[in-house]
Amino acid sequence: MSETNGNGNNLLQNSRSLFGNIGLPTAIIAAFWLFTLVVGHFVGISMSTLVSDTIKRAGMNGILVLAMVPAIQSGTGPNFALPIGIVCGLFGLVCSIEMDMMGMGWLLASFSIAIPLAAFVGFIYGKLMNAVKGSEMTIATYTGFSIVALMCLAWLMIPFRNPKMGWFIGKGLRETIQLDAVGAAQILNNFLMFKMGEVIIPTGLLLTFGFFSALVWLFFRSKSGIAISAGGINPKFAQAAGLDIDRNRIFANVISTILGATGIIVYSQSYGYAQLYTAPLMMAFPAVAAILIGGATASRAKVSHVIVGVVLFQGLLTTALPVANEVFAGTDLSEIMRMIIQNGIILYALTQVKRGVQ
Amino acid sequence: MSESLLQFKNVSKSYYGNRVLTDINFDVKKGEIHALIGENGAGKSTLMNILFGMPVITSTGGYEGEVLIDGKLINFKSPHEAMYAGIGMVHQEFMLIPGYTITENIKINREITSPNIVSRVFGKRLETLDMVQMNNDARKALDKLDMGIDEFIMVAGLPVGHMQFVEIAREIDKTGIKILVFDEPTAVLTESEAKNLLAAVRRLADKGIGIIFISHRLDEIVNVADRVTVLRDGELVVTKDIGDTDAVEIASLMIGRKVAIDRVQSDTRKISDEVFLNIKDLHVAMPGEMVKGIDIEVRKGEIVGIGGLAGQGKLGIANGIMGTYPSRGDITFNGKPMKLHAPHSAIASGIGFVSEDRKGVGLLLNESIELNIVFTAMQVGNRFLKKKGPFRFQDDSGLRKHALKMIKDLDIRCESPLQHAGSLSGGNQQKVCVARALTQDPIFLFVSEPTRGIDIGAKKLILDLLLKLNEEHGMTIVMTSSELAELRSICDRIIIICEGRVEGVLPPDASDAEFGLMMSGSRIKKGKDSSGGRAPNV
């Protein structure tokens, strides 16, 4: 952070370097979040609830945001096809319920079904991304949409029998499956959970997020990780250095899809419900918005961007909604505000794509 | 015939303090073909940009001196103004719309229109095209060039030679055309097409149009031009009547005696007779640098230079062998046949490559110097890695140690090995590129344009470094460069590439004229007349 020392010139330079390091969108969102917190305090909203919620939501969304890092680093841009990973995760999760797994067993079974599936699907998706170089982001968005639509049919038609997740009348899976029923709601959140004053710290959830963040961070310091990044920054350079860029891009998208699958399982247990059908449709957008707020560009992303971004973005949402409801009582502005902020950020970030690549 | 149509008086131009043109005085008379010749970077394009009022001139502070047309001082602010004043240009690359007919291409944006009901309401832009009138005009322009081709044919599918004529027809259809600039008009034409074109140029001149003819084909210039002006390093060397000179003289004037970098040779060098790299019939599809069948043998311990003008294909050779552009041919390296289009195996077999595109291919600009140095060795040679479980992580301390050694050995001026490569000066960036190639421990090195865009002091350092590598480590080096002087300073022999083929091989101490003639593809023996004709490749 810059220190102001009264000198006008220095102040200008400092503020420039401040924005240089943190980025204008990050700074604006941070300032806005602080502003809503202050307003919230004056309209009498419990700060500890807000902070607890922020931590919880950051933790549950974290891995989904993390899924953006490999995709961006490899040069395919933010993974707008995150729903592909998400439906893989959901599929693992319902299969695990079908097998009557409970608690931790359910969680591990979900992971072990979802991850191989996501790896396979991610491989095919990576091949698709290589075939459409130059328009990855648009194609990815619609691939995500299509998969969700396709899975709507699948959820209806796959003959699952476990009554915990079927409709009461008719065939197919319910829209929302309560994870209470398998003893898995908040199973990670409650692990080693403690209270700091009024603030709830979901230790297990944060540890999980931290674990995956560390994995991704380490990965990008490994030989393959460096090769993937180089291919993303400068394909010509990577090619001249004898790298197989296409293979690296596929690999990166496999990792991204796996993270998406893992992320939705962690998300669902924290939420307490697994949401099927059209719920995953728009889930890529908050994740993209979060990493961009964190300071990533459409061509460069780091794990630190994920952490900063997910805290800021989820913090702003959790705070802005009750505050907006309180300030504009009787209206339902909160959802509209969420849409404006989220899509505004994505729009801003996408206009910066060229500048990011230089 | 003698009145001056166009005059340049003491024209100078600098870009950001870098002088590219100094005191140019020359003139074009009515009905004259005035040839302009010079190496790449001699200032031909800058001079034409000034004439056309291109934004690149006006936005960099204009130029000094005066340009006069018909004795009147002009200062065009845009190419549009130049066009209205009667200056036209025939481009080397065709600016034609393939899906339009010849007439439409000739008349584009200058269509002849007649009013109709809609246009009376909505304005001139919606008037009907008068195709009959337009076809007539196009016909007239084509007839002036003796072109029998029908004006209503689509441009797509026309032979290249005809496209060039359509382009010329468009220029002469503009009313009041006074000066026509031809920028290497025959570069893409076959011999017979070129002959037709030259005849057309002569006819245009006879109609009183002043022609500036830019070309590096000396035989053409000798055949068609009335006078020739030679530019070198931004200065006008001489303007001569074509009758008073010949191709050999023009060639040696073009190359000239540049500041020579002293040639030092030590006795310790060993060049064996073993053919280390054998290139047979190499074709490379590198846009702008096509290689069309090249045979080269490189012996162990040699420094071979590859020279030639830009766009002739010299840069394609290294790129084709290293697999950065599609290529075919038979390459034997170190006794083994080499797979093409496989950068990984080329690097693994011990060939290092310093690319001519330093910023694009050579460096990760936003990454640290140390990562740039070890990158290829890490990815291809699996060095600077530490194994931990299933993963191999970069070995930070080993990497740093090596980077510091390289920074010291090559004298890379930087603050720390963590500094971004993009923030270094050109010469130091080049050293980082060389350092990366050396880190692979190559036994053979391709170096392309090693001194492009770096200052003279740094140039010397890079060249000394290459020489040292060759002398002390016996490294075989193939250096490709547009700068003849630097090739002559360290190479054992210099292969000149022209039009994608080997034009010839010269010793470094061959005369300027020999180099000049060979680079311009005119293989005329000294003393012989300009009989022209291209020799088969060597």
Q: Do B379 and A244 touch (CB under 8 A)?
A: no
What pLDDT tens digit does each residue of chain B (538 aa) get? 457 889 999 988 887 777 788 888 889 998 899 999 887 777 888 888 888 888 888 888 888 888 888 888 888 888 888 888 888 888 766 678 888 888 888 888 778 888 888 888 887 778 888 888 888 888 888 888 877 788 888 888 787 778 888 888 888 888 778 899 988 887 777 777 788 888 888 888 888 889 999 887 788 888 889 999 988 878 888 888 888 888 888 888 887 755 455 566 656 677 777 888 999 999 998 887 889 989 999 998 889 999 888 778 888 999 999 888 889 999 998 888 888 888 888 888 889 899 888 888 888 888 889 889 988 888 888 888 888 777 788 888 888 999 998 888 888 888 888 888 888 877 888 889 989 988 888 889 999 988 877 766 677 788 888 888 888 888 899 999 888 888 888 888 999 998 888 988 988 888 888 888 888 876 544 433 333 444 444 3
- For residue B353, the chain A residues in CB contact (below 8 A) are 240
Q: Do B363 and A237 touch (CB under 8 A)?
A: yes
Structural Rg of chain B based on CA atoms: 27
Amino acid present at A153: L
pLDDT of residue A216: 93
Q: What is the pLDDT of residues A63-119, one digit of tens each?
A: 999 999 999 999 888 899 999 999 999 999 999 998 888 888 999 999 999 999 999
Q: Do B371 and A223 touch (CB under 8 A)?
A: no
With beta carbons less than 8 A apart as the criterion, state whether B278 and B334 touch: no
Cβ-nearest to B343 among A221, A222, A242 = A242
Q: What's B529's DSSP letter?
A: -
- For residue B397, the chain A residues in CB contact (below 8 A) are none
- For residue A244, the chain B residues in CB contact (below 8 A) are 344
- Say how far apart CA A62 and CA A101 lie, in whole Å: 25
**Distance to chain B for A122, nearest Cα, Å:** 21
Q: Do B347 and A242 touch (CB under 8 A)?
A: yes
Cβ-nearest to A233 among B345, B355, B366 = B366
- For chain A, say whether B463 makes contact (Cβ under 8 Å): no
Q: How many CB pairs under 8 A join A and B?
A: 76
- For chain A, say whether B380 makes contact (Cβ under 8 Å): yes
Q: Do A233 and B367 touch (CB under 8 A)?
A: yes
- For residue B322, the chain A residues in CB contact (below 8 A) are 240
Coil, strand or helix: which one is B459?
Answer: helix
- For residue B379, the chain A residues in CB contact (below 8 A) are 223, 226-227, 230, 241-243
Cβ-nearest to B324 among A227, A240, A358 = A240
Cβ-nearest to B379 among A227, A300, A358 = A227
Give the nearest chain A residue to B345 (CA atoms).
A242
ipTM of this complex: 0.76
Q: Do A234 and B380 touch (CB under 8 A)?
A: no
**Exposed, middle or buried, B116 (CB in 10 Å: 0-12/13-18/19+)?**
exposed
Give the nearest chain B residue to A218 (CA atoms).
B393
- Among B370, B391, B433, the residue to mutate for chain A (most A Cβ within 10 A): B391
- Say how far apart CA B510 and CA A291 lie, in whole Å: 62
**Exposed, middle or buried, B191 (CB in 10 Å: 0-12/13-18/19+)?**
exposed
Give A233's contacts (C-beta < 8 A, 6+ positions apart). Answer: A75, A299, A300, B364, B366, B367
- Say how far apart CA A313 and CA A292 lie, in whole Å: 10
With beta carbons less than 8 A apart as the criterion, state whether B198 and B532 touch: no
Cβ-nearest to A233 among B362, B364, B392 = B364
Going from the C-alpha of B522 to that of each of B381, B528, B529, the distances in angstroms are: 45, 12, 11
A316 alpha carbon, distance to own chain's centre? 15
Return the ∠ at Cα B139 (arms to B133 and B142), rounded to 5°: 145
- Say how far apart CA B538 and CA B503 lie, in whole Å: 7
| Topology annotation, domain B261-350+442-538 | Rossmann fold (3.40.50)
Q: Do B343 and A239 touch (CB under 8 A)?
A: yes
- Say how far apart CA A85 and CA A107 lie, in whole Å: 17
- For residue B345, the chain A residues in CB contact (below 8 A) are 242
- Say how far apart CA B277 and CA B322 lie, in whole Å: 13
Cβ-nearest to A241 among B376, B391, B394 = B376
Going from the C-alpha of B275 to that of each of B296, B298, B299, the distances in angstroms are: 10, 6, 4
Q: What's B101's DSSP letter?
A: B
- For residue A230, the chain B residues in CB contact (below 8 A) are 364, 367, 375, 379
What pLDDT tens digit does each residue of chain A (358 aa) get? 333 333 444 444 444 444 456 777 788 888 888 988 898 888 888 888 888 999 999 999 999 999 999 999 998 888 999 999 999 999 999 999 988 888 889 999 999 999 999 999 999 999 999 998 888 888 999 999 999 999 999 998 888 888 888 887 778 888 888 888 888 888 888 888 888 888 888 999 999 999 999 999 999 988 889 999 998 888 888 888 888 889 999 999 999 999 999 999 999 999 989 998 888 988 888 899 899 888 888 788 899 999 999 999 888 888 887 887 777 777 677 677 778 877 887 787 667 654 433 3
Token duo for residue A6: 């009264």
Cβ-nearest to A239 among B324, B382, B394 = B324
- Looking at chain A, the whole-number percentage of residues with pLDDT higher than 90 is 37
Q: Helix-strand-coil percent breakdown of chain B, rounded to 5?
A: 35, 25, 40
Q: Do A240 and B355 touch (CB under 8 A)?
A: yes
Q: Do B394 and A222 touch (CB under 8 A)?
A: yes
Cβ-nearest to A242 among B367, B379, B391 = B379
Amino acid present at B180: L
- Chain A residues interacting with chain B (CB cutoff of 8 angstroms): 218-219, 221-223, 226-227, 230, 233-234, 236-237, 239-244, 300, 358
What is the per-residue DSSP string for B65-79?
Answer: EEEEETTEEE--SSH
**Distance to chain A for B107, nearest Cα, Å:** 35
- Say how far apart CA A11 and CA B375 lie, in whole Å: 39
Q: Where are the beta strands (DSSP E) in B188-290?
A: 210-214, 227-232, 235-241, 275-284
The strand pairing partners of B387, in sequence order, are B392
Token duo for residue B3: 């009145």
- For residue A236, the chain B residues in CB contact (below 8 A) are 324, 357, 360-361
- Among A73, A234, A239, the residue to mutate for chain B (most B Cβ within 10 A): A234
Token duo for residue B354: 């310093």
- Say how far apart CA B449 and CA B434 lie, in whole Å: 12
Going from the C-alpha of B538 to that of each of B35, B297, B497, the distances in angstroms are: 29, 11, 10
pLDDT of residue A255: 95
**Distance to chain B for A245, nearest Cα, Å:** 12
Coil, strand or helix: which one is B480?
Answer: strand
Q: Do B365 and A223 touch (CB under 8 A)?
A: no
Give the nearest chain B residue to A238 (CA atoms).
B361
* CATH architecture of the domain covering A23-357: Orthogonal Bundle (1.10)
Taking phi over 0 as left and psi of -120 to 50 as alpha, with beta for the rest, A354 belongs to alpha
- Say how far apart CA B512 and CA B258 lie, in whole Å: 10
Domain ranges in chain A are: 23-357
What is the per-residue DSSP string for A240-264?
Answer: HTT--HHHHHHHHHHHHHHHHHHHH
The strand pairing partners of B530, in sequence order, are none
CATH number for the domain whose boundaries are B1-85+178-245? 3.40.50.300
With beta carbons less than 8 A apart as the criterion, state whether B305 and B487 touch: yes
pLDDT of residue A356: 38
- Say how far apart CA B295 and CA B277 lie, in whole Å: 11
**Distance to chain A for B364, nearest Cα, Å:** 7
